[in-house]
Structure 1
Amino acid sequence: MKYIDLRSDTVTKPSKGMLAAMMKAKTGDDVFGEDPAINELQEKCAKLTGKEKALFVPTGVMGNQLAIKAHTIQGDEVIVESESHILNYETAASSIISNVQLLQLKGENGILDVETVRAHVRSNEYYFPKTRLICLENTHNRAGGVILPIKTIKAISTFAREYGIKMHLDGARIFNAIAETKISLKDYAYNFDTISFCFSKGLGCPIGSILCGDAETIDLAHKWRKILGGGMRQAGILGAAAIYALNNNVKRLKDDNARAKRFAKALADTGNYKIDVENVHTNIVVFCSHKHSKEEFMKLAKKKGLLFSSGSYDLIRAVFHMDLSEADVTKAINVLKNL
C-alpha cells in the first residue's frame, strides 16, 4: 500500500535538483574548517539573519542545546513556554548538558506575553537561580504551527535586553512563518541573540540545522559541538543540500500552509472532528476525532492509507510538506469524511 504520509515534514526525500547539487558538492574536512560548501552555507545564513557567524549542526536539538550551553552557566534558569520543543522533546538535555533548570510558563496557544515573562524573572536574592535566557519557538509545534506575533516578540526582546537577559529563537520552522507574514528572517532574528532553524523539515533536506549569533557565542557553540560529537568531516554534501533548499524551496512553503488550511476547514465542515481552524497558521494541523480515541483513529487511518503522528495529549497531528500533492490532500480529506 502506498501511504499518504502526514506524520511530519521530516519524512520528505531529497528532490532530483537537490540530489544533483549534493553530487556536485565540493568537499573538505569541516573539522579543519576546510569544507567549501559548509563555509558557504554558514556565511549565507549569517548574512540572512544579520548575525556575525553561523554554525552547521546535525539536528535542531543540537542547535537549541548549543545555544543554551553558550548563553548560560550551571545553576542558571531558562524561561521556556510550557509546550515548547525544548521542554518536551529534547530529553531533558539542558539539565544534562548545561546543568540549568527550565522555568515553564503557560502561553496562550504557545504564545507568551511580556507581562507573564516579566512576572517570573528572578530577583537578585542569593537563593534564587539567575534568569539568564528566554527561549521562544516560532512556529510553535505543539500549538499546531502557530506564528508568534512580531509585536509580542519585540516586546519580550526589549524587556530582556533592558534586564540583560539573553534571547534564543527555536526557529525550526521559521520559514513557514515567513511565508505567511512576509517578515524577513533578518527582522525576526534581530530580536534574538541566537536563532536556530532546520533544513530537514519544510525545506526538504535529509539532515541539518544551523545556529546563528555573534562570533563569541558561535565560537563557544563550535567547541561544544565537537564535545557532543557533532563535528563532521566531508559534510559538503549536506551543505550543498541546504544551500539548494534556501535558493529553491523557501517560496513554495506557502503551498504547504495553504494545503494545511484547506485540510483543516474540510475536517471542521464534517462536524466529526474537534479542530480550531482559526489557529491553523502554517503547515501543521492538530485535531481530535469525536468518534474515536487517538489510538483508534490512527490505526483506522493507517488501514485506509493515511499516516498521522501523535500530537500533545489527545490530539492527532497532520503536517503538510513538499512530497504531498493536491491530490493527496483531497484523498486524505475524502477518507476522513467517512472515518
Structure 2
Amino acid sequence: MPSLTDIRFAELAQTIACDVHSKTQDDDNTLKVQEISRAFVSDTITVPTKEMNAYALRASLGDDVYHEPSTALLEAHVAKITGKEAGLFLPTGTMSNQVALRTHLQQPPYSVITDARAHIYRMEAGGAAFHSGANSIPIIPANEHHLTWEDIEPRIVSGTDVHVAPTRIIALENTLNGTIIPQDDVIEISKNARSRGIIMHLDGARIWHVAAETGLSMKELCDPFESVSLCLSKGLGAPIGTVLVGSTPFITKARWFRKLFGGGMRQTGYMAGCAAYALTHNFPMLPRVHALAKRMQQGLEQLGVDILSPAETCMLFYDPSPIGVEYWEVVERAAQLPDPIKLNGSRLLMHIQTSPQAIEDFLELLRTLKEEKAAAGWKPENAPPKKKTLFRDVYVKAVRPV
C-alpha cells in the first residue's frame, strides 16, 4: 500500500512531466524541412540531418566547464586551420564577438571602428557599449562595398586629449551583406593598424563562404587578425555554436569572460559533433549555395528588378519597384502559393537546404506580378527614381500600407 508521501510525490511528478512532441511530430518535422527549403529569410533556419544527428550522438559525454573531449578537439581543430593558438566554443556569434571585444579591451576610455553596416555595431543590442564601455565609430565605405584604409585612417582617434576615446580595435566583418572584402585591402588595414598598436578583430560569421568563393585558406583569411569569430550555425548548418580563436593568453581570458557572460555550457559534445560533421560534409556544399544565389540574381535582373547588393556569396538584396511591385505584395503572394515561399523583405538568402525549384518558383511569381501590373496599366515610366544603395536602404522589411 503506497504511503501518502508516495502518492503526493507521484502526483507532483505528473505535474512536472513534460512532452514537447506533437502527436504528429515526425510528419511535422518532414514538413518543416520542406518549409526551410523554400525560405529565403536566413541561413540560421537550417536543421540537422539524420546523418548529422547520428554522427553527433556518438560524441563524448563530458561537461565543458570542466573538460569536454569532443568540444576540446573541435576548438583545437578550428584554431589549427585558422593559424591561431587556441579556440573557444560559444553558443552564439553575438556572444563570441562581445567576449572578444571585452577580452581585448582593458580599461576605458576606448573606441572600436566598424563598418556602418556591421553586425557588431547594428545588430548586437549595443553590446560594445554595455559590456565593454566602448564607443563605436561606424564608417560608411566610400566605395559603398567595403572599408579601406583610406576610409579608416581619418577616423582613428589617438593622442591624450581627455575629450576623446582612443581607438583600440578595428573590427571588420567578412562577408558583410554577403559581399567579400578583397584580401589585399584587409592586409593593408591590418598592416597599418598594427603599426599603430591597434588590435584587429574579425566577425567571420560567414568567413567559410569567403574561403569557398576565393579559394584562400582559412589561415590566409585569418592571419591579419588577432582574433576571429567563426559561426557554425549559419552557412555550415550546425544547430548551434561559434568558435572564437586567438592566442593562448587571449583565449584563456576569453574563457573567463564566457563564464561571466553566462556562456559556460555543460554537455556540449553533441553540439561539437554536429559542428564537426558540418565542417566535413557541409562546407563542400557552399559553392552550390553561391551558384543558387547567382541564379537568383540573374533571374531578377532579366525581369528588370534592381539589385541593391549583389550575390557574391549566399545572399543578395533586391528592389522590385522598377516593375511596379512592392515588397509586401511579394511576401503575401509568396505565402499564398500552393507550395508557399517564406520571405521578409529585401534580403534573399540561400543556404545548404535551399531548393533550386524554390528559386524558379520565386522568379515565376515575380514574372506573374510584373504581368499583372502591366495589364492593370502600370508602365516603367511610373517607376520611382532608382534607389541608391544607401546602407540604411539595403535591409527593407515588408510592411503592408495601413
TM-score in same-fold range (> 0.5): yes
Shift of 1:307: 1.2
Match of 2:351 in 1: 321
Match of 1:200 in 2: 233
Match of 1:309 in 2: 344
Match of 1:240 in 2: 273
1:173-209, Cα deviation, whole Å (9 max, x unpaired): 0111111100111001100000011110111111001
Task: Say whether residues 1:282 and 2:282 are aligned partners.
Answer: no
Give the TM-score of the pair, scaled to structure 2: 0.79
Separation in structure 1 between the aligned mates of residue 328 and residue 257 of structure 2, nearest angstrom: 40
Task: Say whether residues 1:120 and 2:155 are aligned partners.
Answer: yes
Task: Say whether residues 1:337 and 2:367 are aligned partners.
Answer: yes
Separation in structure 1 between the aligned mates of residue 193 and residue 56 of structure 2, nearest angstrom: 41
Which segment is superposed worse, 60-69 or 116-125? 116-125
1:74-125, Cα deviation, whole Å (9 max, x unpaired): 3210000001111111010111110101000101334111012111111303
SS in 2 for 1:21: helix
Separation in structure 1 between the aligned mates of residue 108 and residue 54 of structure 2, nearest angstrom: 45
Separation in structure 2 between the aligned mates of residue 161 and residue 281 of structure 1, nearest angstrom: 29
Query: Which structure is higher in RCO with an 8 Å CA cutoff and minimum separation 6?
Result: 1
Match of 1:76 in 2: 110
- Kept after mapping to 1: 8 A contact 2:330/2:366: no
Task: Say whether residues 1:54 and 2:87 are aligned partners.
Answer: yes
Task: Say whether residues 1:30 and 2:64 are aligned partners.
Answer: yes
Candidates 134, 146, 156, aligned match of 1:100: 134
Match of 2:121 in 1: 87
The one-letter code sitting in structure 2 at the alignment partner of 1:338 is T
The one-letter code sitting in structure 1 at the alignment partner of 2:152 is V
User: 1:199-278 maps to which residues of 2 (within 5 A)?
Assistant: 199-271=232-304, 273-276=305-308
The one-letter code sitting in structure 1 at the alignment partner of 2:317 is V
Shift of 1:16: 1.9
SS in 2 for 1:18: helix
SS in 2 for 1:285: strand
1:209-239, Cα deviation, whole Å (9 max, x unpaired): 1100011111111111111110000111000
Q: Which runs of 4+ in 1 moved over 6 A?
A: none
Separation in structure 2 between the aligned mates of residue 85 and residue 57 of structure 1, nearest angstrom: 17
The one-letter code sitting in structure 2 at the alignment partner of 1:275 is I
Separation in structure 2 between the aligned mates of residue 183 and residue 336 of structure 1, nearest angstrom: 36
> Structure 1 129/91 Cα, relative in aligned 2: closer, same or farther at 3 Å?
same
Match of 2:174 in 1: 138
SS in 1 for 2:317: strand
Match of 2:6 in 1: none
1:278-304, Cα deviation, whole Å (9 max, x unpaired): x32000011111123333332232223
1:243-293, Cα deviation, whole Å (9 max, x unpaired): 11111111110000110000111011011x21157x320000111111233
The one-letter code sitting in structure 1 at the alignment partner of 2:62 is G
CA RMSD in angstroms comes to 1.4
Separation in structure 2 between the aligned mates of residue 337 and residue 29 of structure 1, nearest angstrom: 54
The one-letter code sitting in structure 1 at the alignment partner of 2:281 is N
The one-letter code sitting in structure 2 at the alignment partner of 1:192 is F
Count of residues paired in the alignment: 328
Match of 1:162 in 2: 195
Shift of 1:24: 1.0
- Kept after mapping to 2: 8 A contact 1:79/1:133: yes
Separation in structure 2 between the aligned mates of residue 338 and residue 276 of structure 1, nearest angstrom: 22
- Kept after mapping to 2: 8 A contact 1:83/1:110: no
Higher strand share: 1
The one-letter code sitting in structure 1 at the alignment partner of 2:111 is E
Separation in structure 1 between the aligned mates of residue 306 and residue 185 of structure 2, nearest angstrom: 28
The one-letter code sitting in structure 1 at the alignment partner of 2:97 is N
- Percent identity between the two aligned chains: 35
Gaps of 5+ in 1: 311-315
- Kept after mapping to 1: 8 A contact 2:186/2:224: yes
The one-letter code sitting in structure 2 at the alignment partner of 1:87 is Y
- Kept after mapping to 2: 8 A contact 1:77/1:100: yes
SS in 2 for 1:31: coil
